[in-house]
């Protein structure tokens, strides 16, 4: 394989063999569960009973950092670990414990996202379970959850992902600040503020900041000792020197500002690891890496202490080490986010706060590094706009062409407008980055998950519209449309159907907001993260943790799944029943209830399948899908977050279609739908056309999506497209693809990501996983190793229409 896309090394300062070794190691890694963190936090909590919870979390964090095992990977220039070995997942019993104990014997037997677990670890975890039972975040959420929400979950409409049992994550620290100041200076700031304040909450906060940062400094110094020890025993002279350098670096790292590019990369990585260790979330992100690292890079190059080749090596090591982390989720949640994702987004390109395009040398190097990394993490994204250099776009296209699904492309013009519409000042909006998959926010200023609070299954809501609010599966009815308690309802006009949709959508969206609030109130305590908070505006000024209102911008959203299935269904109903009167309501329902089986049902199935479908540039249905989006957007201004008026400068709800793999399991809950979808099959992914219904190629998809209110979906509008590998082969096709990307800017597409691999390859990979450990696919806003996915998700990816570029 050609190691570089475009890069031509001028000197021998990058060890490609070593990178290949690390890459192989990551590719073949095995997931396991580590009990160290769980034991240490239990020990610490037992010794701090009765103290303030935030303080207890801070102390526990420091305790963990002091005593957990640390290691430096054999080949790596970058270090920092959150569990005892490569790809092990730590356990966070303070968030939830029951499922862990319930699944102890099943982790290694899952059909996807398997985890090895030793008998000792099982024993360790069983041993601490009783201490945490009834005292976790999950328990508190559970206690406060009303019956209606439980029932709506049973219906399959609402789903609470991580927020009900895990940390929130979704944090991008202010990297500039960390690099410029170091931890010590922030400790001094906190100390000073502590001396000045009389507010109890603030006192606790500043104390906690000091404790966590001191803990982090201890952790770093432990690496100094370890590196020196390893250097002593090291035979290889080059490696010995590297270890000495690490040892020396860690004596003072973060005691003072960052000194050079290498230190900068290491610090970004360490902060990432430490945030993950502190709070059990995911989507801790690197933000605009090429922007905040470019000064260090330039000055090192000018001073002659760094070569381009070395820089590429360091970045690649840092990228690769992101695959050493892991997070374990309950099996039920794994279905919603498969492939061991951490969604550690790292973004390049895009405009600077002053509006000029910020692409720089590091943007190019990062693309090359991602090519060398060829793993699913970091989740690599790129911003672009009309001023993005064509050769940078072309390099990105070359990476996309390798089939790794990255970078995923964000359109500056739309994303910036979206954030500004929320009231975020222009220079901050221009500085946005991706957080997790497709959601966007302002680095160092956002405090909550832009997306992925409660998941709302719109496919199910539609099914309830057909059934008068009564779920045919569970028999549960929380609201009736015609006042009767059965599922019979006859609509006289399309407007009546539409009213039914709006009514149920409001009912369940209201419920979802209540659901968010219940989780958020508990997270304010259980997910208090002083370490992460002190790097986010305005926590230090306000003396508040993020979760309790410290962040500057508090923009959240739920995740709405299946808008195109809903729109396509409504279009089929409108056209066939009301406009053309080709079939009756009863005929349609009976065909649906028979899951399209039988002679009449299959004829009706054909008619609905032939009805207009979103993704073909057909105004009839495209504007109905737009109506569906608008119906939800109209609800948002009425929704308030828990922190409104308690710190943040902006608090509001927005919309997102970033839905990770949930379109697959959500589909399992939904019977046949009037768009011709069969029972249990997946819903559509993000705002992408339903699998296999876009027949007119990529430009038609773009034209359809362009009709949606994309900039209003300010927490991320996910569009996933698949191209066959042949369609990007050669320079001419590649140039046309670059043109295609440029046209997406003009068309106002929010985001676009690409799977480039032919279905034959995917089918083969499903049959022979052992030959395809290196195959990375775009799932939904993130990438995963194809072979780690569950069969249903694999099928959904195979079914996604393959765009051919020509006949």
Partner 1 sequence: MSDENKGYISTIQLYSTKDGPGIRSTVFFMGCNLKCKWCSNPELLTPDIKYMHFEHKCIHCGACVEIASNHSITFAEKGCRIDRQMCSNLAECAEICPQNAYEKIGFEISSEELVHKIMRDKEFYSVSNGGVTFSGGDSILQGDFIIDVAQRLHAQGIHIALDTAGNICWEKMKAIIENVDMVLYDIKAYAGEIHKICTAVDNTLILSNIKHISKMNKDIIIRMIIVPGFNDDMDDVYQRIVFIKSLGSSVKRVDILEYHNFGSGKYARLGIENPIQQVICNNYSLLEKVKKMACELGLNAAILQ
Among 609, 633, 635, 799, binds partner 1 (CB under 8 A): 609
Q: Does 736 bind partner 1 (CB under 8 A)?
A: yes
Q: Does 732 bind partner 1 (CB under 8 A)?
A: yes
Q: Does 696 bind partner 1 (CB under 8 A)?
A: yes
Taking residue 82's Cβ as centre, other Cβ atoms within 10 Å add up to 23
Burial of 28 (0-12, 13-18, 19+ CB in 10 A): exposed
Among 746, 760, 763, 791, binds partner 1 (CB under 8 A): 746
Instruction: Give CA–CA dist 74/22, Å, rounded.
Output: 9
Q: Does 17 bind partner 1 (CB under 8 A)?
A: no
Q: Does 646 bind partner 1 (CB under 8 A)?
A: no
| Window contacting partner 1 (CB under 8 A); options: 178-186, 261-269, 292-300, 604-612 | 604-612
| Least distance to partner 1, CB of residue 687, Å | 19
Instruction: Give CA–CA dist 284/235, Å, rounded.
Output: 37
| Window contacting partner 1 (CB under 8 A); options: 80-88, 185-193, 470-478, 696-704 | 696-704
Among 168, 617, 675, 792, binds partner 1 (CB under 8 A): 617
Q: Does 602 bind partner 1 (CB under 8 A)?
A: yes
Of the CA atoms within 13 Å of residue 740, those in its CB half-sphere come to 25
For the chain, helix (H) and strand (E) counts, in that order, are 31, 18
| Window contacting partner 1 (CB under 8 A); options: 369-377, 637-645, 787-795, 798-806 | 798-806
| Least distance to partner 1, CB of residue 112, Å | 33
Measured from the CB atom, the residue of 144 and 739 that comes closer to partner 1 is 739
Q: Does 620 bind partner 1 (CB under 8 A)?
A: no
Measured from the CB atom, the residue of 728 and 796 that comes closer to partner 1 is 728
Measured from the CB atom, the residue of 475 and 598 that comes closer to partner 1 is 598
| Window contacting partner 1 (CB under 8 A); options: 217-225, 228-236, 306-314, 693-701 | 693-701
| Least distance to partner 1, CB of residue 805, Å | 5
Which residues, listed in sequence order, are joined to residue 351 by a DSSP beta bridge? Answer: 357
Q: Does 739 bind partner 1 (CB under 8 A)?
A: yes
Among 482, 699, 725, 759, binds partner 1 (CB under 8 A): 699
Q: Does 610 bind partner 1 (CB under 8 A)?
A: yes
What is the crossing angle of helices 494-526 and 563-572, to 10°? 170
Give all strands (DSSP E) within 226-385, no chain letters: 287-288, 345-349, 379-384
Among 301, 517, 743, 799, binds partner 1 (CB under 8 A): 743
Site map for partner 1, 55-94, x if CB under 8 A? Answer: ----------------------------------------
Among 363, 538, 651, 803, binds partner 1 (CB under 8 A): 803
| Window contacting partner 1 (CB under 8 A); options: 66-74, 226-234, 455-463, 734-742 | 734-742
Q: Does 477 bind partner 1 (CB under 8 A)?
A: no
| Least distance to partner 1, CB of residue 655, Å | 25
HEC string for 342-398: CCCEEEEECECCCCCECCCHHHHHHHHHHHHHCCCCCEEEEEECCCCCHHHHHHHHH
Instruction: Give CA–CA dist 46/711, Å, rounded.
Output: 49
Measured from the CB atom, the residue of 126 and 602 that comes closer to partner 1 is 602
Report how far apart, in Å, the C-alpha atoms of 27 and of each of 30, 70, 78, 87, 776 are: 9, 22, 18, 11, 10
Q: What angle do CA 492, 495, 497 make, to 5 degrees?
A: 70
Q: Does 593 bind partner 1 (CB under 8 A)?
A: no
Among 460, 605, 613, 751, binds partner 1 (CB under 8 A): 605
Kindly state the number of chain residues that form the binding site for partner 1, as judged by CB under 8 A.
30
Task: Report whether 264 contacts 150 (CB < 8 A).
Answer: no
| Least distance to partner 1, CB of residue 699, Å | 5
Q: Does 689 bind partner 1 (CB under 8 A)?
A: no
Q: Does 731 bind partner 1 (CB under 8 A)?
A: no
Q: Is 477 helix (H, G, I), strand (E, B) or coil?
A: strand
Q: Which residues contact 680 (CB under 8 A, 6 or more apart)?
A: 667, 668, 670, 671
Q: What share of the chain is helix, strand, coil (3-state, %, to 5)?
A: 55, 10, 40
Site map for partner 1, 496-525, x if CB under 8 A? Answer: ------------------------------
DSSP assignment of 77-133 equals S----SSSSTTEE---TTT--HHHHHHTTTGGG-SSS--B--HHHHHHHHHHHHHHT
Instruction: Give CA–CA dist 529/60, Å, rounded.
Output: 11
| Least distance to partner 1, CB of residue 417, Å | 18
Task: Report whether 123 contacts 418 (CB < 8 A).
Answer: no
Q: Which residues contact 345 (CB under 8 A, 6 or more apart)?
A: 283, 285, 286, 287, 378, 379, 380, 381, 433, 434, 435, 436, 437
| Least distance to partner 1, CB of residue 563, Å | 22
Selection from 74, 130, 57, 145 nearest residue 98 by Cα: 130
| Window contacting partner 1 (CB under 8 A); options: 293-301, 371-379, 549-557, 737-745 | 737-745
Instruction: Give CA–CA dist 764/759, Å, rounded.
Output: 8
Q: Does 221 bind partner 1 (CB under 8 A)?
A: no
Taking residue 111's Cβ as centre, other Cβ atoms within 10 Å add up to 12
Q: Does 762 bind partner 1 (CB under 8 A)?
A: no
Instruction: Give CA–CA dist 616/130, Å, rounded.
Output: 56
Give the footprint of partner 1 on this chain (CB under 8 A). 599, 602-603, 605-606, 609-610, 617, 696-700, 702-703, 727, 732-733, 735-736, 739-740, 742-743, 746-747, 803, 805-807
């Amino acid at each position: 394989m050609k190691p570089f896309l475009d890069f031509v090394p001028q000197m021998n300062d990058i060890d490609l063999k070593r990178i290949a070794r690390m890459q192989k190691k990551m590719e073949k890694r095995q997931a396991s569960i580590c009990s160290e963190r769980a034991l240490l936090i239990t020990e610490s909590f037992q010794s701090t009973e009765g103290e303030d919870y935030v303080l207890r979390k801070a102390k526990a964090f420091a305790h963990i950092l002091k005593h957990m095992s640390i290691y430096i990977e054999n080949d790596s220039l970058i270090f920092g670990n959150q569990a005892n070995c490569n790809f092990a997942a730590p356990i966070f019993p303070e968030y939830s414990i029951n499922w862990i104990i319930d699944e102890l014997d099943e982790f290694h037997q899952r059909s996807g996202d398997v985890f090895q677990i030793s008998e000792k670890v099982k024993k360790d975890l069983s041993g601490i379970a009783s201490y945490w039972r009834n005292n976790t975040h999950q328990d508190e959420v559970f206690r406060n959850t009303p019956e209606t929400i439980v029932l709506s979950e049973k219906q399959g409409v609402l789903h609470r992902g991580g927020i009900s049992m895990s940390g929130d994550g979704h944090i991008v620290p202010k990297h500039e600040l960390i690099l410029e100041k170091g931890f010590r200076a922030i400790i001094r700031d906190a100390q000073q503020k502590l001396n000045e304040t009389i507010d109890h909450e603030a006192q606790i906060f500043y104390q906690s900041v000091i404790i966590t940062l001191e803990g982090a400094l201890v952790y770093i110094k432990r690496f100094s000792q370890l590196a020196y020890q390893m250097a002593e025993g090291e035979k290889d002279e080059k490696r010995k020197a590297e270890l000495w350098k690490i040892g020396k670096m860690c004596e003072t790292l973060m005691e003072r500002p960052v000194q050079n590019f290498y230190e900068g990369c290491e610090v970004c990585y360490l902060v990432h690891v430490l945030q993950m260790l502190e709070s059990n979330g995911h989507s801790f992100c690197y933000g605009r890496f090429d922007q905040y690292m470019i000064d260090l890079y330039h000055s090192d190059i000018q001073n002659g202490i760094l070569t381009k080749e070395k820089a590429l090596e360091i970045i690649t090591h840092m990228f690769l080490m992101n695959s050493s982390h892991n997070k374990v989720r309950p099996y039920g949640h794994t279905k919603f986010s498969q492939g061991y994702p951490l969604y550690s987004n790292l973004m390049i390109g895009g405009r600077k706060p002053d509006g000029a395009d910020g692409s720089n040398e590091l943007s190019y190097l990062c693309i090359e590094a991602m090519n060398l990394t060829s793993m699913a993490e970091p989740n690599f994204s790129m911003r672009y706009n009309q001023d993005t250099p064509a050769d940078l776009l072309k390099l990105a296209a070359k990476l996309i062409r390798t089939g790794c699904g990255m970078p995923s492309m964000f359109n500056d013009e739309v994303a910036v407008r979206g954030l500004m519409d929320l009231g975020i000042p222009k220079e901050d909006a221009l500085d946005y980055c991706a957080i997790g998959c497709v959601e966007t926010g302002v680095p160092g200023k956002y405090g909550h998950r832009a997306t992925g609070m409660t998941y709302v299954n719109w496919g199910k809501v539609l099914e309830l519209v057909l059934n008068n609010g009564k779920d045919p599966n569970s028999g549960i009815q929380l609201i009736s449309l015609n006042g009767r308690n059965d599922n019979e309802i006859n609509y006289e006009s399309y407007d009546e159907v539409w009213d039914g949709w709006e009514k149920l959508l409001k009912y369940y969206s209201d419920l979802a907001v209540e659901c968010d609030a219940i989780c958020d109130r508990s997270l304010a305590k259980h997910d208090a993260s002083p370490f992460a908070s002190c790097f986010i505006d305005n926590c230090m000024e306000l003396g508040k943790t993020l979760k309790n209102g410290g962040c500057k911008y508090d923009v959240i959203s739920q995740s709405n799944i299946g808008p195109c299935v809903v729109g396509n269904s409504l279009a089929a109903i409108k056209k066939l029943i009301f406009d053309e009167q080709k079939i009756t309501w009863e005929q349609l329902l009976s065909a649906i209830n028979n899951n399209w089986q039988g002679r009449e049902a299959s004829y009706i199935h054909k008619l609905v399948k032939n009805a207009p479908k979103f993704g073909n540039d057909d105004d009839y249905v495209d504007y109905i899908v737009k109506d569906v989006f608008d119906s939800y957007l109209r609800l948002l201004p009425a929704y308030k977050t828990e922190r409104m008026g308690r710190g943040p400068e902006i608090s509001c709800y927005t919309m997102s279609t970033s839905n990770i793999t949930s379109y697959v399991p959500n589909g399992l809950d939904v019977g046949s739908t009037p768009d011709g979808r069969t029972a249990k099959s997946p819903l559509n992914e993000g705002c992408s056309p339903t699998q296999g219904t876009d027949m007119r190629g990529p430009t038609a998809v773009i034209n359809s999506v362009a009709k949606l209110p994309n900039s209003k979906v300010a927490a991320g509008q996910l569009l996933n497209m698949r191209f066959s590998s042949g369609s990007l082969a050669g320079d001419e096709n590649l140039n046309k693809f670059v043109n295609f990307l440029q046209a997406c800017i003009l068309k106002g597409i929010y985001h676009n990501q690409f799977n480039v691999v032919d279905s034959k390859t995917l089918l083969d990979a499903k049959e022979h996983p052992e030959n395809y450990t290196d195959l990375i696919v775009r799932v939904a806003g993130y990438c995963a190793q194809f072979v780690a996915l569950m069969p249903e998700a694999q099928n959904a990816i195979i079914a996604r229409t393959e765009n051919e570029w020509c006949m």
